Structure 1
Amino acid sequence: MGGEIRKLVFKKKKSLTIIFLIAILAITAGYFTIKNVDDKNLEEEINRPREYEVTRGNITAGTNGAGIIKFESVDHNFSQSVTIDEIYVKEGQRVSEGDKLVSLSVEEIQKKINELYGSLKRANMELEQAKKAPEYSKDAVELAELEVYRLNTEINKLYELRESPVLYAKVSGVVMSLGGTANSITSPDIPIVVIGNSDKVFAEIVVSQNDINNIQKDQIVTLEVAALQDEKIPGKVSYVNLKPNSEGNSTTYKVIVDVEGKDYGLLEGMTTNAQFILKEVKDVLILSNKAIKLKDGNQVVNVKNEDGTLREVTIQTGFSDGRNSEILSGLKEGDTVVVGG
């Protein structure tokens, strides 16, 4: 009985092994079938004819960098320390030249004028005493006169502020920061409002140490901003900062590029890519370098005829940016060049 059971178990294991081997063979055969199909498709893709048209346009070569858009800052403040009554703008708000920004408390200005008049009265008394002193001192008189002059100047400035207690925007742009709140006291050294001037836009570009020697003042630059697709924004280098910025093993330099031309609607902080133009040819015949091959030391292409046949043409190229070449002879605009097949 035990022998029969062992025979049955052996037969079952043998059957499973055969089934397993058949499955492996089927998978392997399928793999090679799929691989052969993929290899065939890849070969067909490689050998598929590709057509390149001769066009007319510009070819540009240059050095690249990346950075952010910035606005020239314009500070707005009062000449005296005074109390703010109301602020009419918020950070990030777009404003126009002449817009109302901040108003002052006329009541607090008058209080300060009254206080200064009290100080002026005392200063005048001290001046008279200095002049009449038994031991007359020219220096003491001059110091007293300076104090009287200072107080009169401050009072006159406060009178002007009392007559015109509103601060207006000097330029159009975006409010970048506020230096006070309602009822706070201003300081002549701290701007109450800082506006980023939308008419004075520039880009701060980071350039690698390998490329910085290719950059110079007044160099033409093309800027591209992700928010403005397909827009080529002209610019010009206004400043090259040769102080290095080192992070890890990387050394970079900052270059300032002034944005030229119309208002593109740029905002501070937008990221931008920059191409510093080293050389550019305009309104020339252009062909992809992929369409050009060398034969016996000559540059040749296969031009497609009207009937679909091909003819080999020797050409002469000029300037190239590494992707496209200027065609000096052998082709005309609209010609179709075929590669492969």
Structure 2
Amino acid sequence: MIEKLTKSVGCGLAIGALLISTLQAKSEEKTPPTYVNVGEVKEITVPETITAVGHLYAINQVNLSFNNSGKLEHKYFKNGDRVLAGESVASLDDTQDMANLKSLQAQLNLAKQTYQRVQLLKKSGAISQEDIDQKFADLQQAKANVEQQQNVVQQDTLKAPLTGVLGIYQFDVGAYIPSGTAVVQLTQENPLKIRFAIPSDFKPKVAIGNEVSLTTNTYKDKTFTGKVNYISPTVNTDSGTIQIEAEVANDDYLLSPGMFMSVSQILKEDKKILVIPDMAVQVEQQGSFVYALEGGDTVKKVPIETGIIRSGWTQVESGLKKGQKIVTIGGNKLFDGAKVSISDIPPPNFEALSKKIKINMNTDKSGMSTPSK
């Protein structure tokens, strides 16, 4: 009796397992594979760059002052005007200095006439050589006095020593200005210089004359260029960085001293990186991942480390290999081990993308990233 019951239960279990297996098979038959677009991990060549933040300085910035004391008579420009080197910026009342100059010029004319007369007397022997020498000395002294006073008169006019933009005049017309007192500040706007710091590990890769690209939120669609003209010989012990200085052309005067800029410097022209379409990358709490094809119709969830991220593509630093097939479109419907059917939608054109990257690598602020060491 017990033996018959055991056989009956065993038979029932086998039938039940067969039914479950059949139902699962039918369920799988009813679940069609997910249609996905498949791309390939590509290798492209881009410049290796390092980025930093710095701010602009004026190469020359001077306070203009008179060497003479006197009353301010003219201001030839307004606050904030641009002036050329050699242009007059302001002048003092030179009435007294000009009167002194005319008096000295009259004395010079008299000294010239006197010396000419003694030269005539020299031929007749009616004058000693000592008197002739004295009159010549008087003539030279009169010339020196005139030249000195001419210099005083010239210093009554304040001239720009360089091309730049004026700050705010510190005095109004009619004010008495002591000698050496700053009247107005003059700032050279073109070129400017920028200072920034980079990790000392990169020092072997930078050199005088290297080109840098600069961007600022003030002009989001414009890139400025400069050339490295100084590399600090010492390392900042607190930050482990070295200071770099570059000269920046500012022909259109868009930039101003004090502006903060993002700086990108090319370290190597032919860095090879692996890239995938950015739409293939998915993110979860544990990090980024993609679905890679296995066996042609099955996907596997693969964690990846990403690097440079630009519009259209993402650099893969680890997790994938060149040529590996990955899901680019449709991955949001997948799970590890899911079955897929490949769509006939063409994958992104990486050849064209690579050419575009080479051209625009330094013109898009969003693409700048410090490369891994």
Q: Give TM-score, length-normalised by structure 2.
A: 0.47
CA separation in 2, counterparts of 1:141 and 1:331? 101
CA-CA distance at 1:73 after TM superposition: 2.6
1:265 alignment partner AA = L
CA separation in 1, counterparts of 2:111 and 2:244? 57
1:72 is aligned to 2:59: yes
1:85 alignment partner AA = E
Aligned to 1:276: 265
CA separation in 2, counterparts of 1:175 and 1:197? 9
Aligned to 1:229: 220
Q: Deviations over 1:264-283 (max 9, x none)?
A: 72221111232221124599
Q: Deviations over 1:107-163 (max 9, x none)?
A: x3121122345567779999999x99998998x99986665344322444566789x
Specify every segment of 5 or more residues in structure 2 that has no aligned partner in the other structure, as ranges: 1-35, 119-126, 283-289, 301-306, 336-373
Contact 1:97 1:169 survives alignment (8 Å): no
CA separation in 1, counterparts of 2:132 and 2:204? 64
Aligned to 2:233: 242
Contact 1:174 1:195 survives alignment (8 Å): yes
Q: Deviations over 1:294-336 (max 9, x none)?
A: xxxxxx9737xxxxx7789xxxxxxx8697269997499xx65
Please give the secondary structure, in 2, of the residue aligned with 1:242. Answer: coil
Please give the secondary structure, in 1, of the residue aligned with 2:219. Answer: coil
Aligned to 1:196: 187
Q: Which of 88, 96, 105 matches 1:111?
A: 96
2:60 alignment partner AA = S
Alignment of 1:200-211 (within 5 A): 200-211=191-202
- Relative to 1, partners in 2 of residues 1:191 and 1:223: Cα closer, same or farther, differing over 3 Å? same
Q: Which of 181, 199, 208 matches 1:217?
A: 208
Aligned to 1:153: 147
Contact 1:65 1:206 survives alignment (8 Å): yes
CA separation in 2, counterparts of 1:145 and 1:325? 86
CA separation in 1, counterparts of 2:43 and 2:146? 72
Aligned to 2:315: 324
Q: Which has the larger radius of gyration?
A: 2
CA separation in 1, counterparts of 2:226 and 2:220? 17
CA-CA distance at 1:217 after TM superposition: 0.8
Aligned to 2:346: none
2:224 alignment partner AA = I
Please give the secondary structure, in 1, of the residue aligned with 2:59. Answer: strand
CA-CA distance at 1:205 after TM superposition: 1.9
1:68 alignment partner AA = H
Contact 2:162 2:188 survives alignment (8 Å): no
- Relative to 1, partners in 2 of residues 1:88 and 1:245: Cα closer, same or farther, differing over 3 Å? farther
Q: Which of 96, 117, 121 matches 2:82?
A: 96
CA separation in 1, counterparts of 2:329 and 2:232? 47
- Relative to 1, partners in 2 of residues 1:211 and 1:281: Cα closer, same or farther, differing over 3 Å? closer
Contact 1:82 1:104 survives alignment (8 Å): no
2:73 alignment partner AA = D
Specify every segment of 5 or more residues in structure 1 that has no aligned partner in the other structure, as ranges: 1-48, 293-299, 304-308, 313-319
- Relative to 1, partners in 2 of residues 1:311 and 1:253: Cα closer, same or farther, differing over 3 Å? closer
CA-CA distance at 1:218 after TM superposition: 1.0
Aligned to 1:302: 292
1:278 alignment partner AA = L
1:236 alignment partner AA = K
Please give the secondary structure, in 1, of the residue aligned with 2:188. Answer: strand
Please give the secondary structure, in 2, of the residue aligned with 1:199. Answer: coil
Q: Deviations over 1:238-261 (max 9, x none)?
A: 222435666xx3465432212247
Please give the secondary structure, in 1, of the residue aligned with 2:220. Answer: coil
1:95 alignment partner AA = D
Please give the secondary structure, in 2, of the residue aligned with 1:204. Answer: strand
Q: Give TM-score, length-normalised by structure 1.
A: 0.51
- Relative to 1, partners in 2 of residues 1:176 and 1:330: Cα closer, same or farther, differing over 3 Å? farther
